[in-house]
Amino acid sequence: MQLFKRLLPLTQDVHDFLEAKGTHPRNSLAFLKMLGSKTRRYAALKSVVDRLIEDRKLTCQPEFLFPVVSSLGFLNEDMEKLLKLMVQHFKDNQPSTPRFDGLSVATLKGRFKKELKNSVCFALLKGNALAMNNQGHSGVSLPA
């Protein structure tokens, strides 16, 4: 009974969020909770990096991203930045010479961007299925 009383406000907050119009899932409570968790987890590392930068012992200024992907495949802003960084790195390292398979460089870049997002979402689904299988939930079929 105590657990239900503690979950009731959270359920009401989720319900209120879903009723609101014009909001994006990245502003949901689950995203904010995970972002806060990652921020707290890496706060010590960030402080060390900041101190090393002040002492001029680092040759670069690292940027900290806290990518979060929901179980429904929604991405937060940091995950979108990370995907853009990966796509940009791919684009920068592609030669501009013609390919032998007939694909243009622009087509290849577009396919990479789409396949990257699909790979991230597939990895998420695979991880969820593995977690459900390890917990013994009914309805999860095992491969034959």
pTM: predicted TM-score of the whole model, two decimal places:
0.58
Q: What is the predicted pLDDT for the residue at 5?
A: 44
In this prediction, residue 7 carries a pLDDT of: 44
User: What mean pLDDT do residues 49-54 have?
Assistant: 89
User: What mean pLDDT do residues 46-65 have?
Assistant: 85
Tokens of 144: 């034959």
Q: Which residues contact 64 (CB under 8 A, 6 or more apart)?
A: 42, 45, 46
Compute CA distances 125 → 27, 131, 144, whole Å.
22, 10, 19
Mean model confidence pLDDT for the chain? 75
Flag whether pLDDT at 8 surpasses 70.
no
Cα–Cα distance for residue pair 132/127, rounded to 1 Å: 9
pLDDT of residue 1: 37
- Report in angstroms the alpha-carbon separations of 44 from 36, 59, 61, 84: 14, 20, 16, 27
Mean local confidence (pLDDT), 63-80: 76
Task: Look at residue 13 and tell me whether its pLDDT is greater than 70.
Answer: no
Name which of 1-5, 59-63, 73-77, 99-103 the model is least confident about. 1-5
What is the C-alpha to C-alpha distance for residues 137 and 113, in angstroms, rounded to an integer? 34
Residue 26 has pLDDT above 60, yes or no: yes
Identify the three-state secondary structure at position 85. helix
CA pair distance 120, 126, nearest whole angstrom: 10
CB 25 within 8 A of CB 74: yes
pLDDT at residue 3, as a whole number: 41
Q: What is the C-alpha separation between 30 and 22, in angstroms, rounded?
A: 18
Query: In percent, how much of the chain has pLDDT > 70?
Result: 70
What share of the chain has pLDDT > 90, as a percent?
Answer: 1
The residue count for the chain:
144
